[in-house]
Structure 1
Amino acid sequence: MTNHDEAAAVRPLTLAWVSRHLEVGERIVRTEALHGGITAEMRRLTIGTRDGNIRDLVLRSFVDPFHLGHAEDWLNREADALSLLTGTDVPAPGLLAVDPTAARCEYPSLLMTHLAGRTVLDDEGLETRVPLLARQLVAIHALRPVERPGEYVALTTADTVVTPKGADAAAWAAAIDVIRRPAPPYEGRFLHRDFQPGNVLFEVPRAGSASARITGVVDWAATSWGPADLDVAHCSTNLALLHGPAWGLWFAQAYEEAGGVLAATASERLYWQVRDGLACSEEVRLVAQPWREAGRAELTPRAVEERLDAYVTVLMDALG
């Protein structure tokens, strides 16, 4: 039977649109909200047949008025990326349908296959996962699409940075001065643009993390063309806030050890690392909320601010 309480949360037009993209004899038997996203509403749809076979799909819908203005661009980027990734070594969902302008749905939506695995945000097993993340990002940057996605967009400016209360004022002032400079020259790469532990699925054995493996990379809505350093910096920032500043610094090293190529000089690397770290200062509450929902209750906005301050200070000491 259809779970009507959950199904009611998916509007009738959207349900009808999804149904048109199912196989003959299939129907939606259950919907379940997926947590962890910030910009879009995510739901797992369980699809069943009369003979008892089931499979899962994922529905992404942009319902928040604040993000609706970007929905068409983001969904088109994701649809293009998922099409490109089909048949590659990068494990990504398969695209089934997209309605970026809500022509047939109540809200702009994308329907895709569901991948096995789960996000892992715990400290345990991090030594194993960081090299896996680095190798996966190198594989993403190796892609050479016939049609490039749009150029990357910087997520902060020197004038919009929010310096945390009690932060190292000198370090932050110096970091802000870094991003006042023009962006360094770079060789463009295919970027995920939000590559971080919350968007990577792992299969982790119950007995431990020694043989963990990546089963999927999700959320391709911000796919861009730009410097590899920017993707590396974003994952570094997230690792620093989740697990401590040292892990952010180590990720860049792990990326190079996996065969990735970063900017040639320390000052150029610092620009990208600092730019992403400072961008996070504007959305600490948004970043911290899904982490707490995922079980990291200690990562309050204040705790994340303190880790961000420590990370920016370490960056300025190590690279500045």
Structure 2
Amino acid sequence: MTRMGPLTLAWVSRHLEVGERIVRTEALHGGITADMRLLTIGTRGGTRDLVLRSFVNVEHAEDWLNREADALTLLAGTGVPAPGLVAVDPTAAHCEYPSLLMTHLAGRVVLDDEGWETRVPLLARQLVAIHAVRPAVRPREYVAWTTADTVVVPKGADAAVWAAAIEVIRKPAPPYEERFLHRDFQPGNVLFDVEPPSSAGPRITGVVDWAAASWGPADLDVAHCSTNLALLHGPAWGLRFAEAYEEAGGVLAADASERLYWRVRDGLACSEEVRQVGQPWREAGRTELTTRAVEERLDAYVTALMGELG
């Protein structure tokens, strides 16, 4: 985490209301690519919070921040609980680093195994709501995050199973109905109110990190969340999420081979960045999710996919 420089402080201050000032900054953990800070803003009546997202030496930072700013703008008023855009400096014209300033959402990320049977349906319903958004201006088409030639087969994996999985994504993408995608929808980007009124149960209070918002198949967002659930909570939860999505009213590809394509594509994409994927989870307390443990869960998940749908 880099220090918040004077140029950034001045830039943030210019976007505050008259009489407001920054009274405290706090580093937020859990991200992979960006520095995140919670800014406490002193107001005439007390305080309010903003979040600063800065990309330090990150390739394509301008593109990521422009995408996120566009997504937050189009989501305003849709009912999807996304942050509100305050300001963006995608080229670091005013700040030390490319940055985005947004409103702060209540709640916190929950990565524990306990209680996931009640939270998975909430995730599914939220994703259905995201896919129901019909923006006046479409975001750009999704970008595939792997190729058949860049997949990294985990140590000890069944070579025949992985070879078959790789062959799945060598084929052209199947036809699909286009939807608005978050593109990185997974438990690490969803905030929960974990202490709701007695009988209400948990609820989602926010969905963050819209830098990869795209236009593409609902199956791809479902596949990405499925992979993350499989790595966090075991392959069975990865297999379960597609069912939960459909139970919530979502529509996926009708053909099993088409579903397999998207789910295997996302699982294999994860093979290239297992170390990075597990890092924020370990920082959040899931220390048992070592790189090796995540690799083993990924292998088990891909094997299960090939057995169930392949």
TM-score (norm 1): 0.95
- CA distance in 1 between partners of 2:55 and 2:158 (Å): 38
2:34 corresponds, among 40, 46, 58, to: 40
Partner residue, 2:148: 158
Contact 2:196 2:203 in 1 (8 A): no
Aligned to 2:223: 233
Tell me which residue corresponds to 1:218. 208
Q: Please state if 1:116 is matched with 2:106.
A: yes
Q: Structure 2 counterpart of 1:54, which letter? A: T
Q: Determine the structure 1 residue equivalent to 2:159.
A: 169
Q: Is 1:61 aligned to residue 49 of structure 2?
A: no
- Structure 2 CA distance, aligned partners of 1:238 and 1:230? 13
The 3 A distance-change label for structure 1 pair 81 and 156 is same
Aligned equivalent of 1:276, options 262, 266, 273: 266
Q: Which amino acid aligns with 1:53?
A: G
SS of match in other structure, 1:225: strand
Q: Distance in 1 between matches of 2:244 and 2:301?
A: 18
4+ runs of 1 displaced by more than 2 Å? Answer: 205-210
Q: How many residues align?
A: 310
Match of 1:101, SS state, is coil
Equivalent residue number for residue 117 of structure 2: 127
Retained in 2: the 8 A contact 1:31–1:44? yes
Structure 1 unmatched runs, 5+: 1-5
Aligned to 2:135: 145
Question: 1:78, 1:219 within 8 Å by CA — same for their partners in 2?
Answer: yes
How far is 1:205 from its partner? 2.2
Q: Distance in 1 between matches of 2:108 and 2:244?
A: 22
Q: 2:191 corresponds to which residue?
A: 201
Deviations 1:185-216 (A, max 9, x none): 11110000000000000001289997000000
2:285 to 277, 295, 301: 295
Other structure's SS at 1:205 match:
coil
- Residue type of the alignment partner of 1:60: R
Measure the CA separation in 2 of the matches of 1:206 and 1:110: 30
Q: 2:93 and 2:199 mapped to 1: Cα distance? A: 45
Distance in 2, Cα, partners of 1:17 & 1:54: 19
Residue 21 of structure 1 corresponds to 15
The amino acid across from 1:45 in the alignment is L
1:255, CA displacement in angstroms? 0.2
- Aligned ranges 1:66-85 → 2 under 5 Å: 67=58, 69-85=59-75
Tell whether the 8 Å contact from 1:191 to 1:225 is kept in structure 2 after alignment: yes
Deviation string 1:125-152 (CA, Å, 9 cap, x unpaired) is 1011000000000000000101100100
Secondary structure at 1:161 match in 2: coil
Q: CA deviation at 1:176?
A: 0.3
| TM-score in terms of structure 2 length | 0.98
**What is the letter of the counterpart of residue 231 of structure 1?**
D
Residue 265 (structure 1) aligned to one of 224, 230, 255: 255
